[in-house]
């Protein structure tokens, strides 16, 4: 299954500094999320985001928040699908491919993916922009989600699939992002 820009939406799960402080390779997660969201803007892919209990845990990371195309949704449920406002935003996109990034792999990302798969969305996990408090927790979550039908992928794969070819109008700009975010 391939990602198509016109069918895709990117969802950022709980990339809040309070949570990120304890996350394995948090800087990588933010860096790769930023790359994906900047590319999404070039490719006209909408970006949604959630925050877990923002009144207590604070807002989305400052490098990520400006790249979100819709108002960020606060939630108390671990699954983004447990927030009615998020579900309404997602349905309003009229897109059926959801690319997830964020934290934590084995809690909020997993529960969101399970619920979205149950609602017949195609779910892609940009693994390089997802993590947990340990590499082991992350690995278990990725395997579980693969086993139930989510597609494990990489942020660059998402972007290149969405473009389809080097003849895409945004190719040169995306290539510049790839180089800028390399490493």
75 is catalytic: yes
Active-site option among 14, 115, 122, 128: 14
Q: In degrees, to the nearest 5, what angle opens at C-alpha 61 toward C-alphas 56 and 62?
A: 120
At which residue do the structure tokens 């909020």 appear? Answer: 108
Catalytic residue among 2, 7, 108, 122: 108
Neighbouring residues of 83: CB distance < 8 A, sequence distance ≥ 6: 50, 73, 74, 75, 76, 77
Tokens of 161: 């699939």
Strands laid side by side in the 8-13 sheet: 73-75, 47-52, 8-13, 97-103, 122-131, 151-153
122 noted as active-site residue? no
Q: Is residue 124 within a helix (H) or strand (E), and if so which, with residue range?
A: strand 122-131
Task: With beta carbons less than 8 A apart as the criterion, state whether 104 and 136 touch.
Answer: no
List the catalytic residue out of 7, 75, 128, 167: 75
Catalytic residue annotation: 14, 75, 108
């Amino acid at each position: 299954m391939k990602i198509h820009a016109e069918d895709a939406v990117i969802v950022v799960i709980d990339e809040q500094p309070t949570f990120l402080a304890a996350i394995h390779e948090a800087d990588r997660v933010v860096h790769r999320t930023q790359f994906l969201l900047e590319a999404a803007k070039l490719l006209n892919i909408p970006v949604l985001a959630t925050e877990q209990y923002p009144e207590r845990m604070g807002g989305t990371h400052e490098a990520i928040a400006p790249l979100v195309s819709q108002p960020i949704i606060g939630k108390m449920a671990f699954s983004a699908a447990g927030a009615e406002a998020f579900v309404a935003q997602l349905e309003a996109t009229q897109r059926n491919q959801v690319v997830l990034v964020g934290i934590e792999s084995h809690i909020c990302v997993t529960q969101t993916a399970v619920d979205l798969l149950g609602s017949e969305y195609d779910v892609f996990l940009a693994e390089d922009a997802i993590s947990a408090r340990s590499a082991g927790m992350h690995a278990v979550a990725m395997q579980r989600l693969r086993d139930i039908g989510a597609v494990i992928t990489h942020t660059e794969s998402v972007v290149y699939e969405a473009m389809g070819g080097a003849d895409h109008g945004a190719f040169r700009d995306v290539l510049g992002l790839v180089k800028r975010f390399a490493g």
